[in-house]
Amino acid sequence: MIDIDSKKVDLDKIEKAVAMILEAVGEDPGREGLLDTPKRVAKMYAEIFSGLKEDPKDYFSTVFHEGHEEMVLVKDIPFYSTCEHHLVPFFGKAHIAYIPRDGVVTGLSKLARAVETVAKRPQLQERITSTLADSLMETLNPHGVFVMVEAEHMCMTMRGIKKPGAKTITAVSRGVLETDDIKRSEIITYINMK
Ligand SMILES: Nc1nc2c(ncn2[C@@H]2O[C@H](COP(=O)(O)OP(=O)(O)OP(=O)(O)O)[C@@H](O)[C@H]2O)c(=O)[nH]1
Ligand SMILES: [Zn+2]
């Protein structure tokens, strides 16, 4: 569990920093259009980094005993995250599959909630992928987990190398899905199904 109090967002500090950035790039933070910008950005950062105060594992405490021992896949979960190197967005879809053990399943929406939590942090795509997989493994103790994330990174499109349309795909397998090629291929087929 993450200690929420120690992670309180310091809105005043963000406001001051944003005003300094505006000044540093040659803007006038005192001009009418920019007057409320530091406040807006502070509020926005509190929102897009709210996942720092949450633990995705908490969602998986909602479990049902269904006797279902076969694959569960929730695919095409949209997300928006922030690249920790450049603080610009990267966004795409996450696909989460697991094979329950002893029929223990979690609520479908909890998988999407976990994606939200993990995405709302300064992030790397690889870390989003592995954090989701490990959180599920540690809480539900399923036979296996497979997580795939596909995303477009604004730091590669609007700046730098400027390659719009380039997609990054990351995948993580845990448990039996590390070795069971047939089951993993089956999941990938379902993910690719329109
Ligand atoms: N592995 C990984 N790299 C990322 C991710 N998001 C951004 N990056 C990369 O992080 C790298 C940072 O490279 P640096 O050379 O330190 O920074 P830079 O000079 O701004 O790099 P360029 O983007 O090449 O201009 C870049 O190659 C980005 O494409 C991510 O989620 N995963
Ligand atoms: Zn970046």
Q: Tens digits of per-residue pLDDT, 47-87?
A: 999 999 999 999 999 899 998 889 999 999 999 999 999 99
Distances (CA, A) of 149 to 5, 66, 80, 128: 31, 27, 12, 8
The band of 194, judged by pLDDT with boundaries at 50, 70 and 90, is confident
Most ligand 1 atoms within 8 A of CB, residue of 85, 87, 129, 131 to mutate: 85
How much is the pLDDT for 29? 97
Q: Kindly tell me if the per-residue pLDDT of 152 is higher than 80.
A: yes
pLDDT band of residue 167 (cuts 50, 70, 90) is very high
Instruction: Give the global pTM.
Output: 0.94
Q: Of the bound ligands, which one is closest to the alpha carbon of residue 162?
A: 1
Quick one: 63 exposed, middle or buried, by C-beta within 10 A (0-12, 13-18, 19+)? middle
> 112 falls in which pLDDT band (50, 70, 90)?
very high
Residues labelled catalytic? 83-86, 125, 153, 155
**ipTM of the shown complex:** 0.92
Ligand 1 mean position to 94 CA, how many Å?
21
Q: Establish whether 143 is an annotated binding residue.
A: no
- 95 among the known binding-site residues? no
